[in-house]
């Protein structure tokens, strides 16, 4: 009896000491590739979220309220992606982003630390960033297809639609009275 308890304790201790490992039917290469691409997307989403909020906080001009509200709504939508992406990485057995520094190393969406940005320039920059995010999401979808990761692909399809919607709204909000874009 005592021997069995000792063995059981040893196994439990061994399990607790094991690195994070989530069981998955995806192979090691699939987990590595999918985690890598999703962590890149996660870094881009955090960068886009912060830039959207930065522009939201620093909006000015005659269309202040409309733009301020638009960017606030878009920020909420973008931030909502972060937990879903990170949890997906963990579900497939990968490690995820751990710090602001980690985000900075992986992000492809560029920061904007300017003291002042014209409102229409803010909208144009965010429009291009959302288009870039959609492009990166399509690339990630291709990797999902390669590894038959249908669940991640399904999430990505919704995020592409959301990024395209944000792009559209930013484009329409910045059109000139003659119908041309900014």
In the chain, what are the domains? 27-173 (1.20.1260.10)
H or E stretch at 171: helix 150-173
What is the DSSP secondary structure assignment for residue 111, as one 8-state letter? P
pLDDT 10s digits, 82-103: 999 999 999 999 999 999 999 9
Q: Sign (positive/negative) of CA torsion 107, 36, 157, 132?
A: positive
The whole-model pTM stands at 0.86
Confidence category of residue 175, pLDDT binned at 50, 70, 90: confident
The radius of gyration of the chain's CA atoms, rounded to the nearest angstrom, is 21
Rounded Cα distance between 70 and 181, Å, is: 18
Rounded Cα distance between 99 and 88, Å, is: 18
pLDDT 10s digits, 30-68: 999 999 999 999 999 999 999 999 999 999 999 999 999
- Here the contacts of 23-29 (C-beta below 8 Å, separation 24 or greater) are 23/93, 24/91, 24/92, 24/93, 26/92, 26/93, 26/147, 26/149, 27/147, 29/147
pLDDT 10s digits, 112-152: 999 999 999 999 999 999 999 999 999 999 999 999 999 99
Is the pLDDT confidence value at 17 over 50? no
């Amino acid at each position: 009896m005592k021997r069995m308890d000792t063995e059981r304790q040893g196994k439990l201790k061994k399990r607790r000491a094991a690195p994070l490992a989530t069981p998955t039917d995806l192979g090691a290469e699939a987990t590595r590739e999918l985690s890598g691409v999703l962590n890149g997307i996660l870094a881009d989403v955090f960068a886009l979220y912060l830039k959207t909020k930065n522009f939201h906080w620093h909006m000015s001009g005659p269309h202040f309220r409309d733009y301020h509200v638009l960017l606030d709504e878009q920020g909420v939508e973008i931030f909502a992606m972060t937990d879903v992406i990170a949890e997906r990485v963990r579900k497939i057995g990968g490690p995820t982003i751990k710090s602001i520094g980690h985000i900075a190393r992986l992000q492809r969406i560029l920061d904007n630390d300017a003291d002042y940005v014209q409102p229409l320039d803010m909208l144009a920059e965010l429009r291009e960033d959302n288009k870039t995010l959609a492009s990166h999401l399509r690339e990630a979808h291709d990797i999902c297809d390669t590894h038959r990761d249908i669940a991640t692909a399904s999430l990505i399809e919704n995020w592409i639609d959301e990024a395209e919607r944000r792009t559209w709204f930013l484009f329409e909000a910045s059109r000139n009275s003659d119908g041309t874009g900014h």
